[in-house]
Amino acid sequence: MQAEELKKLIEQGLPGAQVEVRDFTGGGDHFEAVVVSADFEGKSLVERHQAVYAALGEAMRAQIHALTLKTLTPAQYQQRR
């Protein structure tokens, strides 16, 4: 799987989200993603991650070995800059 494919899956599952994905080993199965969504407002870290996993569906079980997630609201993202 390519990082761009992963990005598109997350964007489709979380409309309006800003998504950055990086393949950090170059092997197509270990990724790091930053997902910024207003839908994360008021949600726990576990709920945010579950939303991303749901967006990835079968790819999470079959093609992705490792995924490091940073899930932020727009306000949290602005504070990081």
pLDDT score, position 63: 79
Determine phi and psi for 2, rounding to 5 degrees: -95, 155
β-bridge pairing 30-36 and 66-72: parallel
Q: What does the alpha-carbon distance between residue 69 and residue 49 come to, in Å, rounded to a whole number?
A: 7
Please determine, looking at this structure, whether the domain spanning 3-80 carries the CATH number 3.30.300.90: yes
Residues in Cβ contact with 72 at an 8 Å cutoff, skipping those fewer than 6 apart: 34, 35, 36, 37, 40, 80
Confidence (pTM): 0.91
Mean local confidence (pLDDT), 59-67: 83
pLDDT digits over 34-54, tens only?
Answer: 999 999 999 999 999 999 999
pLDDT digits over 13-35, tens only?
Answer: 999 999 999 998 888 878 999 99
Encoded tokens for 44: 């726990």
